[in-house]
Structure 1
Amino acid sequence: MINIFSPSKLLLQLSLAASLVTAQLQTISNFGPTYNTQLTMQAYIPNNLPASPAVMLALHACGGSGPGYFQQTKYKSLADSRGVILVFPSSPKDFNCWDVASAKTLKHDGQGDSQVLVSMVDYLIKTYKADPKKVFVTGTSSGCMMTNVLAATYPDRFAAATCYSGVAAGCMAGSPGSSPISSDRVCSDGRIVKSGQEWANQVRSMYPGYSGSYPRFKTYHGTADNLVFYQNFLEQIKEWSTIHGVSFARNETSTPQSGYTTMIYGDGTKFVGVSAAGVGHVVPTHEDLDFKWFGLT
């Protein structure tokens, strides 16, 4: 039997073989200046990207790392099915916490952690022609604290945010560090209590002159959290409901699961708080609901 070479058949076979190769988390070192922050960038690029893909930044807790958070969460499978680029950066300093306390990080283009994280997103937008209007951020504990900071310092760069067990943007301002060991604990203990207007003023001071909209925000917290106390959840609520100009509308009990209460502000599209009864530090990630909040369904 004569085997006739077919270029089209070969290309098909090569294409099928390539699709079977699983994409991996990769380290990217040339994304831009790090301003002595020591932050490193790890990204996950799904094999089959659509035109103008979305980008999601995922921020680990203290003591963690980008690769570790990547393994602990289920964002990869969602990214594969929806063609979303993921960024899992790492902070190697201050017990692997994000800097949410210094003047540099709490200022737009202040050459701190917040600016470096945004430069990672910019690199992906440029390299993969991602949609700048579909950039999202999430994080746990210290990562949630940085999520709040990014929403305040770069509100024009993120469409929406979710986070777990953190503090309001600016709560750690002036602390000698951002970790449970190096910080002064006043913030994390829930002893910084402000009015919604005071918090909103602090948010706006992080990006002077900005008059645009802020990211849609959804935050989770456990009532039994004795590391980042529950009062910090209430302060986040005051901060972001004031920024978005929405008032409490209703509670949805046993949502998204038993023991959780979803607190709806306004029509529920700009700000939502989720209180987890009896849950300590930290509230588990709800990846499917994060993607739903981001509109990545």
Structure 2
Amino acid sequence: MCRTLLRLPFTILLSLFGFSAAQADELLSYKWQGVDRTAILHVPKGLEGQPAPVVIVMYGSGDKAANFQKNSGADVVADSENFITLYPEAIDGAWNIRAKRPVINGEPVDDVGFFRTMLDDLVNRNIADEKRIYATGFSFGALMSYTLACSLPDRIAAIAPVASAMNESQVENCKPGHPKPVMMINGTSDDVQLYDGYIRSFGRLTSVPETTEYWRRINSCTGVGVTPLPHLNPHDLTRASLFQWSGCAPGKAVQLYRIENGGHCWPRLASANNETEDEPRFGGCSNDIEATEEAWKFFKQFRVD
């Protein structure tokens, strides 16, 4: 199959995506499997012309890259901490984590090939630091981050999936496994990607404890400790604790932010804008951590071996 790489020679103003027009983002485009695959590249001011860390940020099923760029708050952290954010677009709003869907021209979508082509381009253009490329994602985007850790171990230095454990087929496809730093954020009352997993027609989602045990074993960790986090919003019905595994292989780590009563969401810090009374129900969104901030604190410790 002929797969030709293209890059659009223009930038997309941030105002198109609901941001200030003070800076411009680049719309990347690559011809892959006969269609144009795109991604939004955000380079903070001052990082132009030099290789920098890149955090891939992937949305959940049915969303769009521009929408998640705005709602995740990741660019604010990137601008403060001097790393690049990359927001890929999925085919039909879905990542290929089920092996046979979605489909392009009768073939399963090759998301892994698209990501490798895109990352190779950014490294060759002296934009991405090849040793410091990381992946995070929400829900099915979280599942895709597990796939990248297993499929591109030479490119991805660490991952931080939010609101999903691994599915069973990913565990099988990842054997014998690639040691990789992993930080997870999961709510115990998530009614979409259940904390205790599920079995459905397309396969089994493992539980969060099963997934952490998988990475504990792959990373050769031997112990675990837990730290309750400060509760910042009195109206927030969730509580967050950080589980940190110890004795891991050099350069490896496993962490879990367990959100009691936490639902299917991307946690954001408490602010004047979200301190309204939460409904008396399970499935709240934690205001005790900022997902991207915690991911970056974790990421910046690690490089590709």
TM-score, reference length from structure 1: 0.71
More strand by share: 2
Conserved? CA contact 2:222–2:247, under 8 Å: no
Out of 130, 133, 139, the position equivalent to 1:132 is 130
Measured after TM superposition, the shift of residue 26 of structure 1 is: 2.6
Corresponding residue for 1:224?
189
Corresponding residue for 1:25?
25
Measured after TM superposition, the shift of residue 125 of structure 1 is: 1.4
Taking the TM superposition and a 5 Å limit, the aligned residue runs for 1:111-260 are: 112-168=110-166, 170-172=167-169, 199=171, 202-204=173-175, 214-231=179-196, 232-254=207-229, 259-260=239-240
Corresponding residue for 1:17?
none
Q: Provide the rounded CA distance (Å) in 1 between the counterparts of 2:109 and 2:66.
A: 24
Which runs of no fewer than 5 residues in structure 2 stay unpaired? 1-19, 103-107, 197-206, 233-237, 268-289
Cα RMSD (Å): 2.9
Conserved? CA contact 1:58–1:87, under 8 Å: yes
Aligned residue identity for 1:123: D
Q: Provide the rounded CA distance (Å) in 1 between the counterparts of 2:117 and 2:185.
A: 27
Q: Helix, strand or coil: the match of 1:26? A: strand
Q: Provide the rounded CA distance (Å) in 2 between the counterparts of 1:262 and 1:121.
A: 31
Q: Helix, strand or coil: the match of 2:258? A: strand
Q: Helix, strand or coil: the match of 1:115? A: helix
Q: Helix, strand or coil: the match of 1:221? A: strand
Measured after TM superposition, the shift of residue 21 of structure 1 is: 6.7
Taking the TM superposition and a 5 Å limit, the aligned residue runs for 1:272-291 are: 272-284=255-267, 286-291=291-296
Q: Provide the rounded CA distance (Å) in 2 between the counterparts of 1:239 and 1:34.
A: 33
Measured after TM superposition, the shift of residue 162 of structure 1 is: 0.6
Distance change in 2, residues 1:52/1:202 (3 Å): same
Distance change in 2, residues 1:218/1:71 (3 Å): same
Q: Provide the rounded CA distance (Å) in 2 between the counterparts of 1:34 and 1:153.
A: 18
Measured after TM superposition, the shift of residue 123 of structure 1 is: 1.5
Q: Provide the rounded CA distance (Å) in 1 between the counterparts of 2:138 and 2:65.
A: 12
Taking the TM superposition and a 5 Å limit, the aligned residue runs for 1:11-160 are: 22-30=22-30, 33-35=31-33, 39-49=37-47, 51-93=50-92, 96-102=93-99, 112-160=110-158
Aligned residue identity for 1:47: K
Q: Provide the rounded CA distance (Å) in 1 between the counterparts of 2:138 and 2:296.
A: 15
Q: Provide the rounded CA distance (Å) in 2 between the counterparts of 1:153 and 1:64.
A: 24
Measured after TM superposition, the shift of residue 104 of structure 1 is: 9.6
Measured after TM superposition, the shift of residue 256 of structure 1 is: 8.3
Corresponding residue for 2:298?
293
- Give CA deviations for 1:168-225 in whole Å, capped at 9, x if unaligned: 1x5256xxxxxxxxxxxxxxxxxxxxxxxxx4x64235x8xxxxx6331001111001
- Give CA deviations for 1:212-251 in whole Å, capped at 9, x if unaligned: x633100111100111110231221122111101134211
Bigger radius of gyration, 1 or 2? 1
Q: Provide the rounded CA distance (Å) in 2 between the counterparts of 1:132 and 1:256.
A: 37
Q: Provide the rounded CA distance (Å) in 1 between the counterparts of 2:101 and 2:120.
A: 19
TM-score, reference length from structure 2: 0.69
Aligned residue identity for 1:291: W
Q: Provide the rounded CA distance (Å) in 2 between the counterparts of 1:37 and 1:203.
A: 28
Conserved? CA contact 1:22–1:47, under 8 Å: no
Aligned structure 1 segments of 4 or more residues deviating by more than 4 angstroms: 255-258
Q: Provide the rounded CA distance (Å) in 2 between the counterparts of 1:260 and 1:249.
A: 16
Conserved? CA contact 1:104–1:112, under 8 Å: no
Q: How many residues align?
A: 237
More helix by share: 1
Conserved? CA contact 2:223–2:247, under 8 Å: no
